Amino acid sequence: MTEKESYDLVIIGSGPGGYVAAVRAAQLQMKVACVERYPRLGGVCLNVGCIPSKALLDSSEFYHLAKHRFAEHGIEMGGVNLDLAALMARKKKVVEELTDNVRKLLTGNGVTLIQGAARLEGADRVHVDLSGTGHKTLSARHTLLATGGAPVHPPGMEPDGKRIIDSTGALSMDAVPAHLGVVGGGYIGLEIGSVWLRLGATVTVIEMLPRITPGLDGQVGRALNRILNQ
């Protein structure tokens, strides 16, 4: 093992948990490597979660206001048309800018970035498959697992990319669906449903528990339910 391949801390995953920990550890004078399997840093949140969904929520709200609410404020717009491709392009730009900033933040603090799929090989070793270009083993005094999450698919409802999609696919549809059924009344499903509702779809949310957002405070959930049913 060469000195270059030895680290005080190896972090697997570059999402909000991973990259923040990497920066802080580097500031504390630790030698840090961050391993990410995907081409862009930032994990689920920045690439296919919080950030793209918030970008679409922002754009869809402007569209909805212009189409349905501006007139009551005395703002006459004439015909309001949706350019879904431009809306998606803006979302992509927002994601790219933020993930590029994460890369600059990490490299600026001296963190070594390694693209590949990592797995633990021992108490102090991390094996990395280097995205089709070979592999290496890193020596690590400490290892931090920050691998994020993935959508859960109910049995018999595995995504086919056409009629059934997951939350990632719902962030990149190329047409507004006539009717969208959202399985799961948590915040992710409700955000996605709100985007496509504003853009013109009929949206039905299916939740197995007695109320939506079961993980939130009950009063907040009830207030949200009233707003979404208006």
pLDDT value at residue 40: 96
Give the model confidence (pLDDT) of 104-147 as tens digits: 999 999 999 999 999 999 999 999 999 778 999 999 999 999 99
User: Strands, DSSP E only, in 57-116?
Assistant: 112-115
Q: Which residue has the higher pLDDT, 59 or 216?
A: 59
Given pLDDT bands bounded at 50, 70 and 90, which one contains residue 1? very low
pLDDT value at residue 3: 43
CB-CB neighbours of 172 under 10 Å: 13
What are the counts of helices (DSSP H) followed by strands (DSSP E) for the chain? 7, 8
Q: What b/e readout covers 131-149, taking b as 16+ CB neighbours within 10 angstroms? A: eeeeeeebebeebbebbbe
**Across the chain, what does the average pLDDT equal?**
94
- Is residue 49 scored above 50 in pLDDT? yes
Give the model confidence (pLDDT) of 195-206 as tens digits: 999 999 999 999
Give the model confidence (pLDDT) of 146-165 as tens digits: 998 888 888 889 999 889 99
pLDDT value at residue 86: 98
Q: End-to-end alpha-carbon separation of the chain, Å?
A: 63
Please report, rounded to a whole number, the percentage of residues in the chain having pLDDT higher than 90: 87
pLDDT value at residue 154: 86
**Across residues 36-45, what is the average pLDDT?**
95
Q: Rounded to the nearest 5°, which phi and psi values hold at 53?
A: -65, -40
- Is residue 2 scored above 70 in pLDDT? no
Looking only at the bridges linking them, the beta strands covering 179-183 and 32-36 are: unpaired
In angstroms, the Cα distances linking 206 to 178, 203, 212 are 17, 10, 9
